[in-house]
Amino acid sequence: MLTVENLTVKFPSRFGDITAIEDVSLCIQPGEIHGLVGESGAGKSTVGAAIIGLLQTPGYIAEGDLKLGDTDLRALDQGEAHALRGKRISMIFQDPQTSLNPLMTVEDQLIETIQAHENTGTTAARTRAIDLLEEIGITGAAERIKSYPHQFSGGMRQRVVIALALCTNPELIIADEPTTALDVAVQSQVLDLIRTLADTRKIGFILITHDIGVIAQIADSVTVMRRGRVVETGKTAQVLGAPQESYTIGLMDAVPPLDRKLRRFRVPEETHDSDGSVSRAEQWLLQGQQQSEIGLTIDALQVQFPGVRTSLFRRPEPFTALHSVSFEVKPGSILGLVGESGSGKSTLAKAITGLVPPSGGEMKLGGDPLPTGKARGRRHPSRQLIQMVFQDPYSSLNSRHRIGDILSEPLWLYDLVQDKDERRALAADMLDLVGMAPDAIDKYPHQFSGGQRQRIAVARALLARPRFLICDEPTSALDVSIQAEILNLLKDLQEKFGLTILFISHNLAVVRQMADDMVVLRHGRIEEFGPSEVLFETPQASYTQKLLELTPVMPKEWNSA
């Protein structure tokens, strides 16, 4: 159905042409799901953009053949390519929220897409749109079709995006990281839907992802890419089950297993090597340690948000995000917090940091009550002792500031270092501690990869001399090798400086490797709480069992870690 031969894409620059991908070949049959995997910057998305004709200007195809059936995609003029795009080839993007128009109902967007490619009336297009929503598993489609995108959950929005891609009965769908931001339950639903569409409609899929567990579960064949070139390609069981290239073997080693706990991840290339000496940054952190490690106690915590007023004469009912949640994070340990989207994980993190006021209950840090609201001002000790590493390091770092200024901010904000030159020197040492080169201090966030930006975010959190660290999905957007490096870094820092960590993730395999204890949250209530190994080996709650069953895993014989 699709043939790509010796594809090379280049981007002109004032220093000469930059080759994004070189000599890439692949072949996809009707009903086949072909996985594209590799690290960030490997060229996966560039391959998809070249096929559908959405290369960013001034990028161009320098060499190679692209054929969809008997159609030569490179021979099409602009009008013909526009007519084919969306009709015979569709695309599913990573973030459904930005893929859908927030000012249009789902009905209007589906009808617009159908009528753009087919000569059909509005009534017939609406009927077809409802049928599509029902086919992809949205109940009450006739009523829900009138909703706006923000009125759907993340998983439902992704289903709507899939419905948009199916509107014109395409031959090929390119799915670019379609499940990265979804929890395991919703991810399983989306993957099952993709598999069903491939089997029943014989649609070919190119599935671009860094999640090798997803590829192992759903893909018929796979291509491994690195630095714009194909490293290995073939049937999934052949490439992942018996990899021949050292790079593929390294990727497999970096995948966290769900069935056992590792002491440390093996990564293809360790970024930072220590010679055993104690750096100035380490000395500074050790000097700031208190006599004992700090734990956190949550007792009957409740968080409510005001309801949405639907009538002038009716008082809105408040929405309860957390219902009487109680647990303890032991001093010097890592507590894993898991659950579906909307379970209250991020709300709990915000309540601990003081960003969301609780409606009831009590929180204690190291035995001292944590004040709420305005009582916990900027100068309150807990502001320094509790730090957070966010999911997206790019949006959490000020893009207009140099790295040196970003890292120096906690030092002057908490009055830890008065001298400007000393702050800069300490920031440089902290970059070295987290595995970054010294010259990074004068660069901007956009000049780094996702994994490097996450290291910078960890360095900034450490420069506040925290005792309690909250990591909210710190590796969900990273490929497996960079994820392994960041998790190794967090483990090393936790053990060396006695940090207490709350680790929030929807990736259960990652949580098993990191956590000493685990809390399973659902609809704002705790389903299960206890030692992580006990919960993974003998889960008692049916919801925990369901999450474990839905987690994509590789066959044991494939994982060489």
Which DSSP string do the residues of 198-232 spell out, in sequence order? HHHH--EEEEE-S-HHHHHHH-SEEEEEETTEEEE
- When pLDDT is cut at 50, 70 and 90, the band that residue 67 belongs to is very high
Instruction: Tell me which residue range forms the domain holding 451.
Output: 284-307+314-372+379-550
pLDDT in tens, 294-327: 899 999 999 988 866 666 677 777 888 899 999 9
What is the pLDDT averaged over residues 97-111?
Answer: 89
Q: Among 334, 338, 346, which residue's Cα sits nearest to residue 296?
A: 334
The structural domain count of the chain equals 1
**Residue 183: DSSP 8-state:** -
Is 192 inside a domain boundary? no
- In terms of C-beta distances under 8 Å and separation of at least 24 residues, what long-range contacts does 81-86 make, across chains too? 81/53, 83/117, 84/53, 85/52, 85/53, 85/54, 86/113, 86/116, 86/117, 86/168, 86/170
Strand 500-504 versus strand 334-338 pairing type: parallel
Residue 376 in this model has a pLDDT that exceeds 90: no
Is 55 inside a domain boundary? no
Residue 134 in this model has a pLDDT that exceeds 60: yes
Is 409 inside a domain boundary? yes
Distance of alpha carbon 414 from alpha carbon 227, whole angstroms:
42
Give the model's pLDDT for residue 272. 47
For the record, the structure tokens of 107 come out as 């009905």
What percent of the chain stands above pLDDT 70?
93
Angle of helix 106-117 relative to helix 122-135, nearest 10 degrees? 110
CB 72 within 8 A of CB 84: no
* CATH, residue 295: 3.40.50.300
Is 139 inside a domain boundary? no
Residue 504 in this model has a pLDDT that exceeds 70: yes
Residue 274 in this model has a pLDDT that exceeds 60: no
Residue 151 in this model has a pLDDT that exceeds 50: yes
What is the pLDDT averaged over residues 483-510?
Answer: 87
pLDDT in tens, 515-531: 999 999 998 999 999 99
Tell me the one-letter amino acid at 28.
I
Which DSSP string do the residues of 407-467 spell out, in sequence order? HHHHHHHTTS---HHHHHHHHHHHHHHTT--GGGGGS-GGGS-HHHHHHHHHHHHHTT--S
Backbone angles phi, psi at 313, to 5 degrees: -105, 0
pLDDT in tens, 194-231: 898 899 889 999 998 888 888 888 999 999 998 889 99
Distance of alpha carbon 40 from alpha carbon 446, whole angstroms:
14
Give the model's pLDDT for residue 271. 45
Query: Rounded to a whole number, what is the distance in angstroms from the first to the last CA of the chain?
Result: 36
Is 447 inside a domain boundary? yes
Is 11 inside a domain boundary? no
Longest dimension (CA), the chain: 75
Give pTM, 2 decimals.
0.79
For the record, the structure tokens of 457 come out as 């975010």
Is 406 inside a domain boundary? yes
Is 80 inside a domain boundary? no
